[in-house]
Amino acid sequence: MKRFVANFARWLCHLIGGVLLGAGLVLHGQIAFIRVANHEVEKTFFLWRLVGEATVYLQSLDVQVALALQDIPENVLRESDLAAWTLVIVGTLMVLAALVMPRPRAK
């Protein structure tokens, strides 16, 4: 029974650490996408931007998303980036803790 509990705790640490690490990396990817989309919108000629904002429902889906993502404040992106780093660090620590856990010896 003791061996089962130790193996289950190790498996659970691997699972939770992997989920947290994956969620942090996905959040980093989403933030990077938002920043690239914002940069592309800012790079666009101002007249085309105004036309795009005026006719947003007639635009393609990627243009609609880029125009909508432009409204996200920078402090929200900064806080999301901090949360993503926290998820990555905590997930990595949990995986490392699972790797360092002593394995129960078979009798």
Say what the pLDDT of residue 40 is.
83
Q: Is residue 20 part of a domain?
A: yes
7 domain residue, yes or no = no
Q: What is the pLDDT of residue 32?
A: 95
Q: Are 94 and 10 in contact (CB under 8 A)?
A: no
**Residues 63-87: what's their mean pLDDT?**
89
Task: Give the model's confidence band at 107: pLDDT under 50 very low, under 70 low, under 90 confident, else very high.
Answer: low
Domain interval for residue 71:
14-98
Question: Looking at the domain assignment, is residue 1 inside a domain?
Answer: no
Is the per-residue pLDDT at 50 higher than 90? no
Please, what is the average pLDDT of the chain? Answer: 88
Split into its structural domains, the chain has a count of: 1
Q: What is the DSSP string of 37-55?
A: HHHHHHHS-HHHHHHHHHT
- Please list, in sequence order, all residues whose beta carbon lies within 8 angstroms of the beta carbon of residue 80, skipping any fewer than 6 positions away: 27, 30, 31
In a domain, 4, yes or no: no
pLDDT at 49: 74
58 is a domain residue = yes
- Span 13-36, pLDDT tens digits: 999 999 999 999 999 999 999 999
Is position 6 within any domain?
no
**pLDDT score of 51 more than 70:** yes
Is 55 among the domain residues?
A: yes
